[in-house]
Amino acid sequence: MARHHKKHGFVRSFGQAVNKYALKYDGTNFTNRLTALGTLVEENYETGISNTYDAVGIVKNILANNGVPPGQWAPYIAFGEEVSKYAIKYGGITLQTRVSALMTFFENAQGANPSILTQIAQSIIGVAPPY
């Protein structure tokens, strides 16, 4: 038999859990909230997509200028995409530290050239992170 104690707001049975969920997440309120946030979500999505698209273009130009064969572009493009994501989330020394750690990973795990990674990072975030 299920225990029907309510202590500190905890739910003790499946029926109570269903009732709590129904009360907490009213469908109309939830729909209104999503509708209200719709334009903000779309703006954030478009910003993220455009930043990633720009980063890929920057990376391709750097790789072409450095004579890297197209068959070796994948890790550099992935690095550029990650740096652009970090640039949206972080700033200042936190951004530089995270990008520096990412550079170390791509150099050691992917065999990427550190000078090219530095060029990519500098082009995307505006400064060369400490490496």
- The interaxial angle of helices 27-65 and 74-89, nearest 10 deg, is 130
**pLDDT for 35-79, tens place per residue?**
888 888 787 777 767 777 788 999 999 999 999 999 999 999 999
Cα–Cα distance for residue pair 55/76, rounded to 1 Å:
10
Q: What percent of the chain has pLDDT over 70?
A: 90
Mean pLDDT of the region 113-129: 91
Tell me which CATH code domain 14-125 carries.
1.20.58.800
What pLDDT was estimated at residue 27? 75
Band of residue 10 on the pLDDT scale cut at 50, 70, 90: low
What pLDDT was estimated at residue 102? 96
